[in-house]
Chains A and B, each alone.
Chain A
Amino acid sequence: MTIRRTWIWLTYLVFALLLIAPLVKIVLGAWENGIQGLIDGLTRPEALHALMMTGIIVVVVTIINTGFGIMLALYLVRAQWIGPRMKRLLNSIVDLPFAVSPVIGGLMIVLLLGPQTVIGALFEDAGLKIVYALPGMILATLFVTFPIMVREVMPVLQEIGAQQEEAASTLGAYSWYTFWKVTWPSIRWGVIYGVVLTVARSLGEFGAVLVVSGNIMNKTQTATTLVYQDVENFNVVAANGIALVLAAFSVGLLLLMEWAKKRKEVH
């Protein structure tokens, strides 16, 4: 069994180098200037503002994408008013944001809704700034995270089949009632898993938001773009503080993911 031993040690080695060492480093690095340094880095007004922006984006994006994601998954699996060919086309379009570099995602929004474009100018006249403001950042994150929920819910819907739902509606249940009593209990854990993934992705979104926001301190800066700016300004210890907060959230989300995955398998 010596070969087996070697493989296991190699696996541990890869994990230690690639995943565990960085985690340890971030925890140690944040304390480099003592607890005071960490607190100072985190309570800078720009840091508080950036964390707040990230929080707003995460909440808004998760709510919108969860709602639309579940509905679109339902349509793509169940709807009879979309032809099979159209369904296949829509189905492959859903994945596109995964293949698009986040920077390009941001660029698209600037090109379509930027201040120089027709639509952008129209909104600006109405007093609503999209690019270099919060709405654009939300749009960019919506784009990047769109496929996650659809992809989590669709396989579950396919697996459970439509029989129970049909039975419910034959027995006279209204469609909302059918959804809540029949469909929802079976897709619940898939949705929760999707929510956790969406939160993780929108928390960490960087490229698209950087392009769309313009990264204006105390205005459109998010936690990740602040980390970027701190590193560019050689203020590594401050960057480390924010990174520690983000990493702590990520590890928490990872634990949630594990939990949701286990529940998903049971149901």
Chain B
Amino acid sequence: MNAMFRGRGWSFGFRTAIILYFICLIVLPIFGIYTQSFSLGWMPFWESVSDPLAWKAVLLTVKLAVIATLINMALGTMIGWVLIRYRFPGRSFLNSLVDLPFALPTAVGGLLILLLLGPNSLVGSLASSVGIEIVFHEPAIVIAMLFVTFPFVIRAIQPLLEELDKSEEEASYTLGASKAKTFFSVILPTMLPGILSGAMLAFSRGLAEFGAVVLVAGNIPGKTLVASVYIFGEIESNNPQGAAAVSVMLLTLSFLILWLVNVLQARRTGA
């Protein structure tokens, strides 16, 4: 029996199976979507992409994801710092709670935003009485993106802060630097790679987000229709080629970001 496990044929078959599974599950579908979008040639691809509703959806997604990412960078840096550096009651509880958006189904997240900020809720009616519309408008999309990408920046900077040598900070104080100066010239540079790679992951997740957004966005073409919902609409209206064309735009953007994150991380571990 053991000879069988050690047998060349057996292990060769096993290896092939694993690699084949990997290629069929991941590589083939991605390859498929690129070929599908060009299946009718360049012109139909160009027509699908240059449809004003399509590029408006992509632009809107990028814009809102940038806003959500910027907010996330500020909040995440603050929270990461507070959770690592300060000791206060409830700290470990909050620290565990950070991962909640990863554990909670995104559709549930969307439903919650709808319930909390919707037209029938306290906050929603208050906001609309002063003329701010939240749900079914851009703010709700930003909030949804913020919610699902909340853990990224925090989780990226925490290990860096833990590694930061306290003596560097103390040296800076001893040499007479002010608190603000120390923060900007000693602490922030240490956190920066984490903030950036966390922000980029958050951004690409924000671009891709569907579940939380589709419930709260209202999905009005050209106004509150984000790219992923646009793609979904094209699939529903039986236009897979158009859906694939916009997917290719969004995918290429996400792959670029992923590649940048890898470069950043390689540089950090290499240095």
Contact = CB atoms under 8 A, between A and B. Distances in A.
Interface of A: 4, 7-8, 10-12, 14-15, 18-23, 25-26, 29, 68, 71-72, 75, 79, 81, 90, 92-112, 114, 139, 142-143, 146, 174-176, 197, 200-201, 203-207, 210-211, 223-225, 227-228, 231, 236, 239-240, 243, 246-247, 250-251, 253-255, 257-258
A84 to B, nearest CB: 14
A102 B147 contact: no
A231 B213 CA distance: 13
Interface string B1-37: 0100110000000110011011001111110110010
Contact of B100 (A96, A240, A254): A254
Interface in B170-215: 204, 207-211, 214-215
A112 B103 contact: no
B126 interface: no
Given A29-B115, A100-B208, A206-B211, A146 B251 contact: no
Contacts of B53: none
A230 to B, nearest CB: 9
Interface string B77-115: 011011100101010001011011111111111111111
B108 A227 contact: yes
Interface in B251-269: 251, 254-255, 257-259, 262
A77 B18 CA distance: 14
A7 B159 CA distance: 20
B105 A224 contact: yes
14 contacts: A7-B86, A11-B79, A26-B108, A101-B208, A101-B231, A102-B208, A104-B250, A108-B32, A174-B5, A207-B211, A246-B104, A253-B103, A254-B97, A257-B103
A23 B116 CA distance: 10
Nearest to A227: B107
Given A207-B210, A207-B211, A103 B228 contact: yes
A250 B33 contact: no
B15 A75 contact: yes
Nearest to B253: A99
Given A107-B231, A257-B103, 8 more contacts: A11-B78, A14-B75, A97-B26, A107-B243, A111-B36, A203-B105, A206-B106, A207-B106
A97 B251 CA distance: 10
Contacts of B251: 99-101, 104
A110 B214 contact: no
B29 A143 contact: yes
A25 B112 contact: yes
What is the interface of chain A mostly: helix, strand, loop, or mixed? helix
Nearest to B109: A22
Interface residues of B, number: 77
B250 to A, nearest CB: 6
Interface centre among B19, B111, B228, B231 (most CB of A within 10 A): B111
Contacts of B228: 101-104, 207
A242 B240 CA distance: 31
Interface centre among B83, B86, B211 (most CB of A within 10 A): B211
A95 B107 contact: no
B116 A107 contact: no
A211 B235 contact: yes
Nearest to B146: A18
B55 interface: no
B177 to A, nearest CB: 16
B100 A243 contact: no
B64 to A, nearest CB: 14
Q: Which 7 A-B pairs have the closest CB atoms?
A: A204-B105, A101-B208, A108-B29, A207-B210, A206-B211, A22-B112, A99-B254
Interface string B223-254: 00001110110010000100110010011001
Contact of A108 (B33, B107, B114, B255): B33
A75 B16 CA distance: 11
A231 B15 contact: no
B58 to A, nearest CB: 12
A161 to B, nearest CB: 17
Given A143-B25, A246-B105, A257-B103, A22 B116 contact: yes
Contact of A22 (B79, B90, B113): B113
